[in-house]
Structure 1
Amino acid sequence: IDLEKLMAHRKETGSIMGFEGATDLPTREAALELECDILIPAALENQITRENAPRISAKIIGEAANGPITANAEQILEDKGVMVIPDVYINAGGVTVSYFEWLKNLSHVRFGRMGKRFQSGAYDRILNIVESQTGRTLTKAERDSVARGAGEADLVYSGLEETMITAYNQTREIMKSNEKVDNLRTAAFVNAIDKVALCYMELGIFP
């Protein structure tokens, strides 16, 4: 769908219905039942229930909204072999970046400030060696793409990616290794509770 044309159509008619080349659905809920590989309910809770769960065709559902799948519906989806990536994991990105912001506020120094120039200089020296050994002079664009030091946004995105990948791998490993855990939601809860328990034990709070 050409989004610019769609927005122009909406501005002209006041609706996205009747857009040329698209198929109108009878209800917004019908969109959940369209044939697809990945379904991402991202707005409202309780959108997939035991009534419409049997008609969901997606192989993977990512809960971008809070609680878009009811407990009864999740059991139906699980029996069908649908992988549900839970909201408690998918929505953790925002909280993770808020934690990074809290750390930055504690130090009163933005991420990357201490090392950016050093990194840039080190990369420059490496590129100089590459040029001298190969006899090829890099263009300014090539040099800039490699030699620039990591800025604040670069480090935040890198930290977020590392955190989310690590959390998913830990959660998936719990699901695979514990026969009592048969879905990612339960595995995510086990992972979280284990971490809280470990912190309590290390701090001497428990037992």
Structure 2
Amino acid sequence: MYDAGAKIVGISDAYGGLYDEDGLDIDYLLDRRDSFGTVTKLFNDTITNQELLELDCDILVPAAIENQITEDNAANIKAKIVVEAANGPTTLEGTKILSDRGVLLVPDVLASAGGVTVSYFEWVQNNQGFYWTEEEVETRLEDMMVKSFNNIYEMAQNRRIDMRLAAYMVGVRKMAEASRFRGWI
């Protein structure tokens, strides 16, 4: 996001968070991190990870551990979009609260699908003797991720459900179609 021009106002690690409403210098912070990736121990002016989750921002990306957004704090999340880069960072109760408030939650099953998709591309290339350039892989990945997002978003809008449930429904539908195509059902 930073490389694409987004202003990053907060980051966290296991020891706390850093926040600057004017934007953090991510390159500077990356240069300062220790061998474990920790940067907040270097600064006196830190906030708790819980405080970071509840700060005013457009997009919140919980990217570390499970159960970060729960029924206890979901009402305090100010972000308009939550992108789950970690596995299970939002509980089902937290998901419902965010959804009821109109927060767009991009579920982990979609947000973290890029790595699995690129692994699939590697498998295809190895089996077929193909060689795709990095640019081809990135283009194919973007095409698949955008298509997946659009399918899930459309399902969520049409059914008036949250994106997590829509992602599960799209996945089950695709599995059923593949099973039917193969004559298994």
Whether 1:2 and 2:28 are equivalent positions in the alignment is no
Q: Which runs of 4+ in 1 moved over 6 A?
A: 7-11
Q: Which residue of 2 aligns with 1:157?
A: 138
Question: Relative to total residues, which structure has the larger strand share, 1 or 2?
Answer: 2
Matches of 1:198 and 1:154, distance apart in 2? 31
- Indicate whether 1:86 and 2:67 are aligned: no
**Deviation per residue, 1:4-61 (Å, 9 max, x gap):** 65567767x992322xxxx421x22211011111100001110111111121111110
1:15 match: secondary structure: helix
Does the Cα contact within 8 Å between 1:43 and 1:65 map onto a contact in 2? yes
What is the CA deviation profile of residues 64-83 of structure 1, one whole-angstrom value per residue up to 9, with x for unaligned ones? 00000011111111121111
Which consecutive unaligned segments of at least 5 residues does structure 1 have?
Answer: 112-151
Structural mapping, 1:1-207, within 5 Å: 1-3=24-26, 6=29, 15-18=41-44, 23-25=45-47, 27-111=48-132, 152-178=133-159, 181-206=160-185
Structure number with greater Rg is 1
Whether the 8 Å CA contact 1:6–1:16 is kept in 2: the answer is no
CA offsets, 1:79-132, max 9 Å, x none? 211111100001111111000000011023312xxxxxxxxxxxxxxxxxxxxx
Tell me if structure 2 keeps the 8 A contact 1:171–1:184.
Answer: yes
Structure-2-length-normalised TM-score: 0.78
Conserved? CA contact 2:114–2:141, under 8 Å: yes
Residue aligned with 1:50, SS? coil
In structure 2, relative to structure 1, the CA distance for the partners of 1:98 and 1:7 (3 Å cut) is closer
- Give aligned-pair identity as a percent: 41
Matches of 2:26 and 2:102 in 1, distance apart? 34
TM-score (norm 1): 0.70
Structure 1 residues 14 and 74: CA distance shift in structure 2, 3 A:
closer
State the alpha-carbon separation in 1 of the partners of residues 31 and 164 from structure 2. Answer: 41
Kept in 2: contact 1:9–1:15 (CA 8 A) = no
Aligned AA (1:170): N
* The structure with more helix, counted as a fraction of residues: 1
Residues paired across the two proteins, number: 158
Distance 1:44 1:154 in 2: 31
- 1:201–1:5 distance in 2 versus 1, CA, 3 Å: closer
Q: Quick check: 2:57–2:78 contact (8 Å CA) kept in 1?
A: yes
Question: What is the CA–CA distance in structure 2 between the aligned matches of 1:167 and 1:79, rounded to whole Å?
Answer: 23
How far apart in 1 are the matches of 2:32 and 2:179?
Answer: 57
